[in-house]
Chains A and B, each alone.
Chain A
């Protein structure tokens, strides 16, 4: 479970927002994960929300909303990775690709004893590791 400090960290760090949320196009409501600058379905464009004064920032621009990635999802495929890259001192990590009910697919860590493709899991956000002194909050999928 995330405490208030964890939640504040996730809210305040742009890259963390990218990990734990999909972006929703204000025109056609298509979800994008990771964020895109041009909607795949309707071609609507996305501009940096905090750069209000940019010359190409149009009037009437609607910001893209965030949809948290959490809750029920279906396991697509998974692996136990033994050959980890530099920076990891554990023997292995379980990874999974899942599909959420809203159609968004995502990669995350897997916490499940006997995974089977097609099974239902629950997606959550937890602190997974530290990178260069900064906490990384990512998705984990559990039974």
Chain B
């Protein structure tokens, strides 16, 4: 398989972008990535778009064609990849496969979502369509509902308190303050949201015991990358930035219905996808220098870290509380602010994680959140409630 380099990355603000069209924000991120990649690269011959809700939220289909035309990239091949909230990483994986297989030399991957085109209730309903249409969806269950049930079992088993979880929120929001793209740039006070007098009201329950400051906001946004084959003639001379290599990608699935998991507290798809990615990259969990973990619900960061072998089961919270996951810690997690602060445009999150990894590996992140000398970085993009997970490992050497 050919080696693949990430030549350029791009990102839009995350937040409220509903005055734009979906194809526009995808194209803006793509343009940013193309400029970041520089003018010396060969022409783009494949465009991959990652998105989940174009048809439902934005009443727009054929978005990949719209993006190609918006950027005047005809006659490049163009396809859309849909994998729920893991659409971004799956789009990246397909882009990688196009080059690795020899079918393309230069691939543009752009992924995003325009969720605030509808109300919060409609957005919640849209994400709930990930559940089984007969035996889950009609009940009114949502992904936060499943998160609440999972969190209850996790808190009971590992003796985790509400206040401990709030520490993760505080760290994420602090990191997000230095991310110019972050949706929610507000420092959060741990006592105020957990044990303070007004905590019950200002941090209300969403799905008991999951609270509002344990869940990500509903965001619009997009991120993109330009991938090139490492064996193209003189490609290293044409790169504008230090090359970042795609070392490992793994994906796996688990049961569609959450209640059918063998062990409710084990996210097998996360573990298996991470193992595949580690194997492909020739690394172990202990080689990971930083990670972007899909914390749509902040406790997921703990679960994903444990499943990926970064910490023993039930012990990830200790790492957070002791500062091991801070920017200057042993294994920084979510230096971008995570989904909690940065935001979660569902189909675009995977690419946003990859954007962050590239920035960190190049040493280009804002100084307050730049991890020192990372070499190997990992992103886990969590589709559904663990139904379909993609792990990506990037390295800068």
Contacts and interface: CB of A to CB of B under 8 A. Distances in A.
In the complex they form, do A and B come into direct contact, defined as C-beta atoms under 8 angstroms apart? Answer: yes
Contacts of A87: 121, 125, 140
Nearest to B127: A85
B139 A138 contact: yes
Given A33-B135, A83-B144, A107-B259, A77 B206 contact: no
B152 interface: yes
A135 to B, nearest CB: 11
Interface string A60-101: 000000000000000011111111111110000101110000
A85 B121 contact: yes
A26 to B, nearest CB: 21
B122 interface: yes
A79 B152 contact: yes
Contact of B134 (A34, A82, A129): A34
Contact of A79 (B156, B208, B259): B208
Contacts of A109: 139
A128 interface: yes
Contacts of A34: 132, 134-135, 256-257
A46 interface: no
Contacts of B141: 81, 95, 107
A84 B208 contact: no
Contact of B258 (A86, A97, A138): A97
A51 B132 CA distance: 24
Given A34-B135, A79-B149, A106-B259, A84 B205 contact: no
B156 A81 contact: no
A105 B140 contact: no
A33 B258 CA distance: 11
A72 B188 CA distance: 45
Contact of A19 (B121, B135, B208): B135
Main secondary structure of the interface of A (DSSP, over half): strand
A28 interface: no
Tell me which of B121, B134, B208 has the highest count of chain A C-beta atoms within 10 A of its own C-beta: B134
Contacts of B119: 86
A84 B206 CA distance: 9
A80 B119 CA distance: 22
A8 interface: no
A18 B153 CA distance: 27
Tell me which of B119, B125, B140, B208 has the highest count of chain A C-beta atoms within 10 A of its own C-beta: B140
Nearest to B206: A83
Nearest to B131: A107
A88 B139 CA distance: 10
Interface string B232-267: 000000000000000000000000111110001000
Contact of B259 (A83, A97, A136): A97
A138 B152 contact: no
A5 interface: no
Given A82-B205, A84-B121, A93 B149 contact: no
A44 interface: no
Contacts of B145: 79, 81, 95
20 contacts: A19-B135, A34-B256, A77-B152, A77-B264, A79-B148, A79-B152, A79-B208, A80-B205, A81-B142, A82-B208, A83-B124, A84-B124, A84-B140, A85-B122, A85-B124, A86-B121, A86-B122, A86-B124, A93-B139, A136-B138
Interface of B: 119, 121-122, 124-125, 128, 132-136, 138-142, 144-145, 148-150, 152-153, 156, 204-210, 256-260, 264
Given A86-B124, A95-B145, 20 more contacts: A15-B134, A77-B149, A77-B150, A77-B264, A79-B149, A80-B207, A81-B141, A81-B142, A81-B145, A85-B122, A85-B140, A85-B142, A86-B119, A86-B121, A87-B140, A95-B141, A107-B141, A109-B139, A117-B156, A138-B139
Closest 5 CB pairs of A and B: A79-B148, A85-B125, A86-B121, A86-B125, A105-B259
